[in-house]
Structure 1
Amino acid sequence: MTKTKTKKSISILGCGWLGLPLAEALVNDGFTVKGSTTTTDKCETLLTKNIQPYVLSIDDEIDGNLDHFLQSEILFINVPFRKQKPFLNAYKTLVKVLEKSTIKHVIFISSTSVYSEINGEVTEDMDIPLNPAKKDLIVFENLFKNNPHFNTTIIRFAGLIGGTRNPGNFFKEDKIVQNALTPVNLIHLEDCIGIVKAIIKQQKWNTTYNAAASTHPTKANYYKLATEQMDKKPAKFIEELSSFKIVSNQKLIDELNYQFIYPDLIEGLKAFKN
């Protein structure tokens, strides 16, 4: 008699721009997926995509059936960051519940904005200054990374494009864009999903990855092309160079053997053509 293979299970906290298409991709890969939303209106959408819906809100506390939501093997956390102390308290509550749950692995979505602009390349393992304006985000990372009850991998995403985020819409015609010779650090939605899937498949836990495309065109060049491709007039770009950083993705490429779908940002603009 052949044994039925147990489905892997994942709970996705935040089914928005990234969380929802990720949930769909994992359902297609045979996962049992639980997805959270802050409104009951979205539950029907999740159900139609074979995602088990949970209404959860994170404010000064967590409202909803958190215990049942966390009956999975993996937790994916992708909730817009807020600095307020009540929000931090809610996350501390989440960690306490996590410690007693069946969750073994956590993927926490962070941002490359945690790095200071050092006028050079930033990597995950360099002894480089972190952005003091983002110290609260580091506190959130460490809540999970330093907890011995589960394994945590941090993904620091660069600026997000793809899906509903067309870079041609980022700057209006009357906008004056300063420091337009600085390099951009961006990543496409499809690569965000691909990287998460690679981490899960290869079980790359207890580490941190920068996630950005391999090329870094100037702000002026990239956004002018993106806007003109939409037959719109570009913003006014002040072509000067101020402080900047270039986010390295080399660790991710080396350890995951990940091949980007959109490694070249200029070439990737073709994906946004109507």
Structure 2
Amino acid sequence: MALHLKEKGHRVTGTKRTEEGAESIRSLGIPCREFHISRPPESGQADDLFNADTVLINIPPGRKNLELQQFFQDIKSVIDRVKQSDVRQIIFISTTSVYGELTGKVTEATPSQPVTASGEVHHDIEQYIQQQLGERGVILRLAGLVGGDRHPVKYLAGRTGISQGEKPVNLIHRDDCVTAITAIIEKEIKGKVMLLCSPDHPSRADFYTWAASEMQLSPPQFERNGNDGKYIDGTSTINMLKLTLKYPSPYDMPLPENS
């Protein structure tokens, strides 16, 4: 994301939790500073981060309940800091897990019904952003992420008795996420809840069996049930941003090397 914005002529400052991590980003020619959301910096130490036109929050939560509770409080503290600043736009990367077990077509306007702890904490953060930042806030819910070494088939290969094989796949490629976030920044979108997912939704059984075969992995074995799943429709967001997705189908998305 930072490299793409830099190539487009934007001035970017990144953050990493450790000085070692920050140095790894500086080696790419991008200014970066150590910043840990659980350890608020002393007064004045992070003024450069909040003296920007846009703040992009893309931080994954932990998996344990205590970590999620702390994550919520930490993100709230960042939002409160933004509220007191002159930042014009804050983009929070959320997840389609806020829709829980809804079925059928799901859009930006569909009310959230989270059922997992992660879905609930993202829903709460979304609500806090809308309450505290109003038009300055943008929420971008991403479907399952593919890109680089990341691909869900790696965690499904060889498994048996996987239920819900007929549920539709909801995936989006990292490159399309980067393009969408760039468009949100450059078009100065504000006060929106947005959604990103490829428009093609093959069944889990069909797609992951194909992907495993292509990668020469042991095929996952699915139970052919669950055809009442949800499919994420991000058409409104794609049209608003005037995007042409690079990978409109999961079958188009490059598979990672099998190592």
Asked if these proteins are the same fold (TM beyond 0.5), I'd say yes
Q: What is the one-letter code of the residue matched to 1:62? A: P
Aligned-partner SS, 1:86: helix
Distance (Å, rounded) in 2 between the aligned partners of 1:184 and 1:78: 23
| TM-score, structure 1 as length reference | 0.84
Aligned-partner SS, 1:156: strand
With 148-157 and 109-118 compared, the bigger mean Cα shift is at 148-157
Q: What is the one-letter code of the residue matched to 1:256? A: L
Distance (Å, rounded) in 2 between the aligned partners of 1:124 and 1:245: 13
Residues 79-228 of structure 1 aligned to structure 2 (within 5 Å): 79-82=59-62, 84-126=68-110, 128=111, 130-133=113-116, 134-148=119-133, 151-228=136-213
Give 1:85 shift.
3.0
1:233-270: CA deviations, max 9, x gaps? 2121122126521111111122112111000112x14x
Give 1:215 shift.
0.5
1:119-142: CA deviations, max 9, x gaps? 20011113x451243232211012
Aligned-partner SS, 2:13: strand
Aligned-partner SS, 2:195: strand
What percentage of aligned pairs have identical amino acids?
25
Aligned-partner SS, 2:48: helix
Distance (Å, rounded) in 2 between the aligned partners of 1:213 and 1:189: 11
Tell me how large the CA RMSD over aligned residues is.
Answer: 2.0
- Structure 2: any 5+ residue segments left out of the alignment? none
Give 1:52 shift.
1.2
| TM-score, structure 2 as length reference | 0.88
Give 1:77 shift.
0.3
Distance (Å, rounded) in 1 between the aligned partners of 2:109 and 2:60: 25
Distance (Å, rounded) in 1 between the aligned partners of 2:249 and 2:78: 38
1:53-76: CA deviations, max 9, x gaps? 1111123x4357433322211000
Distance (Å, rounded) in 1 between the aligned partners of 2:229 and 2:178: 27
Q: Answer yes or no: is the 8 Å Cα contact 2:37–2:78 preserved in 1.
A: no
- Structure 1: any 5+ residue segments left out of the alignment? 1-21
Q: Answer yes or no: is the 8 Å Cα contact 2:143–2:197 preserved in 1.
A: yes
Change (3 A) 1:150 1:251: closer
Distance (Å, rounded) in 1 between the aligned partners of 2:102 and 2:80: 36
Corresponding position of 1:66: 46
Aligned-partner SS, 2:105: strand
1:25 aligns with 2:4: yes
With 43-52 and 31-40 compared, the bigger mean Cα shift is at 43-52
Distance (Å, rounded) in 1 between the aligned partners of 2:155 and 2:224: 17
With 244-253 and 66-75 compared, the bigger mean Cα shift is at 66-75
